[in-house]
Chain A
Amino acid sequence: MSTLTKFLMIGALIAVSACTNAGRFGKGDGYGSGSGASGAIVPGSANDPSSTAYFNQTIGDRVHFLIDQSSLTPEAQQILNGQADWLSRNGDYVAVIEGHADEQGTREYNLALGARRANAAREYLISRGVAPNRLKTVSYGKERPIEICSNEACYAKNRRAVTVLAAGLTS
């Protein structure tokens, strides 16, 4: 999808004031929520398979890891299969895979562990056909938790590798 096409789609979205799922604009974006009454695919929304909202929500932009592990669970592999397929269909996107750890670990070690996790996801996507030059990694260690409680329910969500899409340089 060219940048121009995306621009036009967003324009159309605004023009029709369509209802969308909370999508790529996040919560409270002023576009309302709920599915379109007709069931039609709203461009850019989470039910538009070429949208980043679809990637983030329907396919899943993140995989989770066991304590102190960087190997991919079968569930994580399934999500990454979907990510790889999406990236193959949408060749003008690149991605940065962010690796994260829970707070139970020392700072330097968690940086290295986050890098291991991000790299595990990257290697898997490459094995599924995504070009290596479309995938970068960065580790945040324990610096950017999304859940802030100090028990396993939160830790499990913080031990993650998140595939963050960006409009590609190749488009």
Chain B
Amino acid sequence: MKRYMLSLLIGASLFFTNVSSQVAAQNGPLRIEITDGVIEPLPFAVPDFVPASGEAAQVGRDIARVIASDLTGTGLFRELPSSAYISQVRDFVAPVQYADWKAINAQALITGSVSVSGGQVTVQFRVYDVFSDAELGNGLQFSGSASGWRRMAHKVADAVYARITGEGGYFDSRVVFVSESGPKDNRLKRLAIMDYDGANVQYLTDSASIVLAPRFSPSGDRVLYTSYESGSPRIYVLDIGQVQRRVLQQQEGTMSFAPRFAPNGKTVVFSIEKGGNTDIYAMDIASGQTSQLTNAPSIETAPSFSPDGSQIVFESDRSGGQQIYIMPAGGGEARRISFGQGRYGTPVWSPRGDMIAFTKQNQGRFYIGVMRTDGSEERLLTASFLDEGPTWAPNGRVIMFARETQGAQGRSSLYSVDITGRNLKPVPTPDGASDPDWSPLQN
């Protein structure tokens, strides 16, 4: 628990400090073990954050709603409606009436205060383990611009999630994806970015050219993607803050595609097709220096680095059908890790390093699944006419992917699912959506 508090403090660039607390931080029995398979979501209450002034009242309500939505959205928590409250929280520093919250079986209570001053919002919050009569961890304070209030709510929810589950949070994160409109035989595609929960959608390109498979840099400030802007697929790098893009230099061959950053943010691994054959290459972005990592007459594509940068997982049909392989980051001998029925593609290494997510095809159905990096413990999480392209939440506990429906009216949209296979749910987007990539936690 201490370790999580520490990483949280280091990780957050929003200014925040410990709120002086009469109750020493302690680890209560309040705990969700995610891997255990939660049957009964943990009941919690999050009253509107107490406004320091009248103008803060609305944002105090909004912040509580986003926190509640983040937590309930995990499937691990259940919010108690405010109509059930026995006592109201009108004073952030006043002692908590534990008995009133026990009476409605609120196991966790989140209280907060919010003040608005000169375009700045300051949020303080505390988490209580009601049945231990104790605060869970220390209170924290966040400050930021008023327009960033959703991020502050997500940071509060991340802290609550981390304290109760012992896992890192994932709410203060973004998703870059391909926004889709138009009929299936003339689909318009453009890059878009949004908060992980679908809020704050922003478009990064127009739909004049086909764009595919955007991928975040390790710091989340840049995106690699493939575009037909030049007539044939080429890889571009886009700076999100500036919304400026440039083509990646020195791309030989007919087509280059399927890029991903290395964990160092300097190297890109991707596929080049020459004369009908597709292999994997690595390029140093600054110098353009390129090295060939695979050399086979088969299709080698969809490379993804291990979090320590030492290995690359990719797909190849060298055995006759698509399967997943792992090779050293510098190339060399690859070992096959997928051996089940059907075909395996689009492997993505978990940010925790322990698992590979993939798309599986078998007998006309598509599945999103996970397996250990040695190929053991394969587990299929979803099944449909067309599920494709998993991406990991920053904590390696949730996967987002695209699901396309069948037929002439077929439409693609985003879904998320826990790696336990529970809590499958759509992620709202304004139009159709595909090729999601989940950012790291924001700083």
Instruction: Establish whether residues B271 and A112, one from each chain, have CB atoms under 8 Å apart when the complex forms.
Output: yes
Tell me whether A20 is interfacial, beta carbon within 8 Å.
no
Chain A residues within 8 Å of B184, by CB: 145, 148
A103-B402 Cα distance, complex, nearest whole Å: 14
Would you give the 0/1 interface string for A91-135, flagging 1 where the beta carbon is closer than 8 Å to chain B? Answer: 000000000000111111101110110111011000000000000
Name the prevailing secondary structure of the A interface residues: mixed
Chain B residues within 8 Å of A108, by CB: 213, 257-258, 271, 301-302, 315, 345-346
A50-B384 Cα distance, complex, nearest whole Å: 48
Instruction: Establish whether residues A109 and B407, one from each chain, have CB atoms under 8 Å apart when the complex forms.
Output: no
Tell me whether A83 is interfacial, beta carbon within 8 Å.
no
A133-B346 Cα distance, complex, nearest whole Å: 34
Binds B, one of A29-37, A57-65, A136-144: A136-144
CB distance from A155 to the nearest CB of B (A): 11
CB distance from B43 to the nearest CB of A (A): 41
Interface positions, chain B 248-264, Cβ under 8 Å from A, are 254-255, 257-258
Tell me whether B377 is interfacial, beta carbon within 8 Å.
no
Instruction: Establish whether residues B185 and A115, one from each chain, have CB atoms under 8 Å apart when the complex forms.
Output: no
Interface positions, chain B 158-188, Cβ under 8 Å from A, are 183-185, 187
Decide yes or no: A104 and B408 within 8 Å by CB, A139-B255, A144-B185 being known contacts: no
Interface positions, chain B 349-370, Cβ under 8 Å from A, are 359, 361, 364
Instruction: Establish whether residues B183 and A148, one from each chain, have CB atoms under 8 Å apart when the complex forms.
Output: yes
Chain B residues within 8 Å of A109, by CB: 299, 301-302, 315, 317, 322, 345
Chain A residues within 8 Å of B346, by CB: 106-108
Chain A residues within 8 Å of B388, by CB: 106-107
Chain B residues within 8 Å of A68, by CB: 321
A143-B182 Cα distance, complex, nearest whole Å: 12
Would you give the 0/1 interface string for B251-293, flagging 1 where the beta carbon is closer than 8 Å to chain A? Answer: 0001101100000000000010101111000000000000000
Instruction: Establish whether residues B276 and A138, one from each chain, have CB atoms under 8 Å apart when the complex forms.
Output: no
Chain A residues within 8 Å of B406, by CB: 150
Instruction: Establish whether residues A138 and B254, one from each chain, have CB atoms under 8 Å apart when the complex forms.
Output: yes
Residue from the list B213, B299, B404, B408 in contact with A113, Cβ < 8 A:
B299
CB closest residue in chain A, given B402:
A107
A104-B346 Cα distance, complex, nearest whole Å: 14
Decide yes or no: A111 and B255 within 8 Å by CB, A143-B210, A150-B407 being known contacts: yes
CB distance from A151 to the nearest CB of B (A): 9
Instruction: Establish whether residues A106 and B302, one from each chain, have CB atoms under 8 Å apart when the complex forms.
Output: yes
A145-B210 Cα distance, complex, nearest whole Å: 13
Instruction: Establish whether residues B386 and A112, one from each chain, have CB atoms under 8 Å apart when the complex forms.
Output: no
Decide yes or no: A111 and B410 within 8 Å by CB, A106-B346, A116-B276 being known contacts: no
A123-B232 Cα distance, complex, nearest whole Å: 19
CB closest residue in chain B, given A149:
B408
Number of interface residues of A (CB under 8 A): 32
Tell me whether B241 is interfacial, beta carbon within 8 Å.
no
Instruction: Establish whether residues B385 and A150, one from each chain, have CB atoms under 8 Å apart when the complex forms.
Output: yes
Tell me whether A146 is interfacial, beta carbon within 8 Å.
yes
A145-B302 Cα distance, complex, nearest whole Å: 22
Residue from the list A103, A139, A145 in contact with B273, Cβ < 8 A:
A139
Interface positions, chain B 100-155, Cβ under 8 Å from A, are none
CB closest residue in chain B, given A113:
B299
Chain B residues within 8 Å of A149, by CB: 407-408
A136-B230 Cα distance, complex, nearest whole Å: 14
A104-B384 Cα distance, complex, nearest whole Å: 12
Interface positions, chain B 309-325, Cβ under 8 Å from A, are 315, 317, 321-322
A105-B359 Cα distance, complex, nearest whole Å: 10
Tell me whether B212 is interfacial, beta carbon within 8 Å.
yes
CB distance from A104 to the nearest CB of B (A): 7
CB distance from A130 to the nearest CB of B (A): 16
CB closest residue in chain A, given B210:
A143
CB closest residue in chain A, given B257:
A111
CB closest residue in chain A, given B406:
A150
Chain A residues within 8 Å of B408, by CB: 148-150
Tell me whether A147 is interfacial, beta carbon within 8 Å.
yes
Tell me whether B233 is interfacial, beta carbon within 8 Å.
yes
Tell me whether B389 is interfacial, beta carbon within 8 Å.
yes
Chain B residues within 8 Å of A139, by CB: 232-233, 254-255, 273
A106-B386 Cα distance, complex, nearest whole Å: 9
Chain B residues within 8 Å of A140, by CB: 210
Q: Which 4 residue pairs spanning A and B have beta carbons closest together?
A: A119-B276, A112-B278, A106-B345, A112-B299
14 contacts between A and B (CB under 8 A): A70-B276, A103-B386, A104-B361, A104-B364, A106-B315, A108-B302, A112-B299, A112-B301, A118-B276, A137-B254, A140-B210, A147-B185, A148-B183, A148-B185
Known contacts A106-B315, A108-B213, A150-B385, then 11 further A-B pairs from the complex at CB < 8 Å, ordered by chain A residue: A104-B364, A106-B322, A106-B361, A109-B299, A119-B275, A138-B232, A139-B255, A143-B187, A147-B185, A150-B406, A150-B408
Chain A positions near chain B (C-beta within 8 angstroms): 68, 70, 103-109, 111-113, 115-116, 118-120, 122-123, 136-140, 143-150
Chain B positions near chain A (C-beta within 8 angstroms): 183-185, 187, 210, 212-213, 231-233, 254-255, 257-258, 271, 273, 275-278, 299, 301-302, 315, 317, 321-322, 345-346, 359, 361, 364, 385-386, 388-389, 404, 406-408, 410, 435
